[in-house]
C-alpha cells in the first residue's frame, strides 16, 4: 500500500463537499486541511468530514508539509492566484471550473505549471467523464458521423435575483468573470468543444434581460462557432428560463446526426440503419445516477470519477484526463464570446486544444 495522498481543500462553500466526499471514497487518500477565508466555513467542513486542520489563509495551507495536493473550490477570479501559489509551493492542483476569469489569469496559471511541470494540474469538467459524453467523443473520433457539419448546444436554467445576491462574487465581471456562460453553460460548451475537437473562432452576443439592478453580467448569450475541423456551430444559453436545467447537444455529420437532451438520445439518425440502432440503444441505456450525497443532481455523477482520475494521475505521475491546458480551451471560448460581443466582430482563439 502506497503512503496516503493528503489533500487540502481551499474554499469550503457549496461545491467543496462533492470534492471531499469523492476523495474520502478512495483508498489511501486523506483530506487533511480545510481552508476558507470565513473561519466558520472551514471549521464547518472540517467538523462534517473529520478534517484535522483548518486555516483562513491559503498561505498557511501551502506551507503545510502534510498537504500533497489541493482542490481549489473558490470563486473564479481567485483560481489563478491560488493555483499559481499552490504550484509554486509544490502542490498538485485540481481546480474547479471555470479555470480562470480572465485570459491573463489563464496565462499566469499555465506559466506557473511550466515552471513546475512535474506537478499534476487538472481542471474540473466532470461531465467529460459522463458515459454518454465519452461515448459521443469516441463516435466522433472514430469518424462514425462522417464529415462533421454542425455542433450545437442550448442551455436553459433559472438563477434568481436571490441566487446572485447570496454571494458577492456572483454576477460580477471582476470575480465571476461573467454569469450564465462562464458558470452554468460552460459545462456543456466544454462537452461540445471537446467532442468536436476544438474551436478556432467565435462570434457572440450577450445581454442582461431580466437581472437589471441585480447583476452586471449576462443572463442570456448566443454565439456562432467555427470549429478547428472546419465544421460550424452554435451556442445558446440563458439563466432566466423557467425551463430550469435543460440542455440539448446536437452533433451532425454527413453520415449521421445525434440530438441529445439531458444526456439522453432524443433523435438519432444515421445513413446506416445498424449503426443508428446501436447508437440509439447505447444512448438510451445509460442511467443518470446521483452518486454523491453532497452534490446537486445537475452536477451529475462524475465528480468522483474525475477526482479518482486526478489521484491516479498524481500517483502515476501522468497527466490527468482533463488537463488544465485542456480546460483552458473552453474558458478561452467563453471569454472569446464576451470579447466578440463587446467588439462586435469575430474573435480568433489563441492556439490551445481541448
Ligand atoms: N463542477 C460543478 O458542477 C460545480 C458546481 C458548483 C460550483 N462549481 C465551482 O466551484 C467553485 C466554487 O463555487 P461554490 O458554489 O462552491 O462557491 P461558494 O461561494 O459557495 O464557495 C466558495 C468559498 O470560497 C471561499 N474563498 C474565496 N476566496 C478564498 C481564498 N482566497 N482562500 C480561501 N477561501 C476562499 C469563500 O469564502 C467561499 O466560502 C466555482 O469555481 C464554481 O464555478 C462547480
Q: Name the residue of 8, 63, 67, 73 whose CB sits within 8 Å of the most ligand 1 atoms, as the mutation to test its pocket.
A: 73
Reduce the DSSP state of residue 12 to 3 states and report it: coil
DSSP for residue 349: P
Segment among 38-42, 268-272, 282-286 with least mean pLDDT:
282-286
Sorting pLDDT into bands at 50, 70 and 90, what band is 266? confident
Amino acid 98: pLDDT: 98
Task: Compute CA distances 111 → 84, 104, 107, whole Å.
Answer: 8, 11, 6
**Is the pLDDT score of 106 beyond 50?**
yes
The string of DSSP codes covering 279-325 is HHHHHHHPPP----TTS-GGG-S-HHHHHHHHHHHHHHT---SSBHH
Cα(266)–Cα(253) distance, rounded to whole angstroms? 16
Amino acid 339: pLDDT: 98
Amino acid 293: pLDDT: 52
Per-residue pLDDT tens for 191-223? 999 999 999 999 999 999 999 999 999 999 999
CA angle centred on 192, ends 190 and 196, rounded to 5°: 120
| Residue 351 vs residue 43, higher pLDDT | 43
Q: What's the average model confidence in pLDDT over 234-245?
A: 95
Q: How far is the CA of 54 from the centre of ligand 1 (A)?
A: 16
Cα(250)–Cα(234) distance, rounded to whole angstroms? 10
Task: Compute CA distances 80 → 63, 67, 108, 155, 157, whole Å.
Answer: 18, 19, 7, 27, 27
Among residues 100, 125, 163, the alpha carbon closest in space to that of 300 is found at: 125
**What is the residue-averaged pLDDT of the chain?**
94
Residues whose CB is less than 8 angstroms from the CB of residue 212 and which lie 6 or more positions away in sequence, other chains included: none
Amino acid 299: pLDDT: 66
Closest residue by CA, ligand 1 atom 28: 74
Segment among 30-44, 170-184, 220-234, 274-288 with least mean pLDDT:
274-288
Burial of 7 by CB count in 10 Å (0-12 exposed, 13-18 middle, 19+ buried)?
A: buried
Q: Name the residue of 54, 62, 75, 292 whose CB sits within 8 Å of the most ligand 1 atoms, as the mutation to test its pocket.
A: 75
Amino acid 288: pLDDT: 54
Which residue bears the cell 499552490?
A: 86
Segment among 59-63, 97-101, 149-153, 289-293 with least mean pLDDT:
289-293
For 208-300, strand residue ranges (E) read 220-227, 232-238, 246-253, 256-261, 264-270
Ligand 1 pocket by Cβ (under 6 Å): 10-15, 35-38, 41, 58, 73-76, 78, 82, 96-97, 124, 126, 167, 183, 299
**Is the pLDDT score of 292 beyond 70?**
no
Amino acid at each position: 500500500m502506497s503512503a496516503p495522498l493528503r489533500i487540502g481543500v481551499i474554499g469550503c462553500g457549496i461545491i467543496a463537499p462533492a470534492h471531499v466526499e469523492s476523495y474520502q471514497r478512495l483508498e489511501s487518500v486523506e483530506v487533511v486541511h480545510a481552508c476558507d477565508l470565513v473561519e466558520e466555513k472551514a471549521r464547518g467542513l472540517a467538523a462534517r468530514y473529520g478534517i484535522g486542520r483548518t486555516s483562513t489563509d491559503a498561505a498557511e495551507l501551502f506551507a503545510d508539509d502534510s498537504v500533497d495536493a489541493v482542490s481549489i473550490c473558490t470563486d473564479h477570479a481567485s483560481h489563478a492566484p491560488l493555483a499559481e501559489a499552490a504550484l509554486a509551493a509544490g502542490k498538485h492542483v485540481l481546480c474547479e471550473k471555470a479555470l480562470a476569469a480572465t485570459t491573463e489569469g489563464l496565462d499566469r496559471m499555465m506559466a506557473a505549471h511550466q515552471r513546475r511541470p512535474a506537478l499534476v494540474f487538472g481542471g474540473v469538467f466532470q461531465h467529460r467523464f459522463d458515459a454518454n459524453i465519452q461515448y459521443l467523443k469516441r463516435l466522433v473520433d472514430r469518424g462514425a458521423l462522417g464529415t462533421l457539419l454542425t455542433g450545437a448546444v442550448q442551455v436553459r436554467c433559472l438563477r434568481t435575483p436571490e441566487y446572485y445576491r447570496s454571494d458577492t462574487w456572483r454576477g460580477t465581471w471582476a470575480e465571476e468573470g461573467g454569469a450564465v456562460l462562464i458558470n452554468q453553460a460552460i459545462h456543456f460548451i466544454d462537452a461540445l468543444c471537446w467532442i468536436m475537437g476544438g474551436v478556432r473562432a467565435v462570434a457572440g452576443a450577450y445581454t442582461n434581460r431580466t437581472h437589471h439592478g441585480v447583476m452586471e453580467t449576462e443572463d442570456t448569450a448566443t454565439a456562432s462557432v467555427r470549429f478547428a475541423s472546419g465544421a460550424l456551430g452554435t451556442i445558446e444559453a440563458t439563466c432566466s428560463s423557467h425551463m430550469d436545467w435543460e440542455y440539448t447537444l446536437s452533433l451532425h455529420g454527413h453520415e449521421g446526426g445525434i440530438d441529445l437532451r439531458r444526456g439522453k438520445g432524443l433523435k438519432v439518425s444515421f445513413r446506416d440503419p445498424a449503426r443508428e440502432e446501436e447508437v440509439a440503444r447505447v444512448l438510451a441505456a445509460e442511467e443518470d445516477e446521483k452518486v454523491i450525497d453532497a452534490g446537486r443532481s445537475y452536477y451529475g455523477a462524475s465528480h468522483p470519477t474525475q477526482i479518482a482520475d486526478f489521484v491516479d494521475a498524481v500517483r502515476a505521475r501522468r497527466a490527468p484526463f482533463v488537463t488544465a491546458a485542456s480546460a483552458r480551451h473552453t474558458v478561452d471560448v467563453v471569454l472569446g464570446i464576451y470579447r466578440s460581443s463587446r467588439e462586435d466582430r469575430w474573435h480568433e482563439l489563441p492556439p490551445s486544444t481541448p
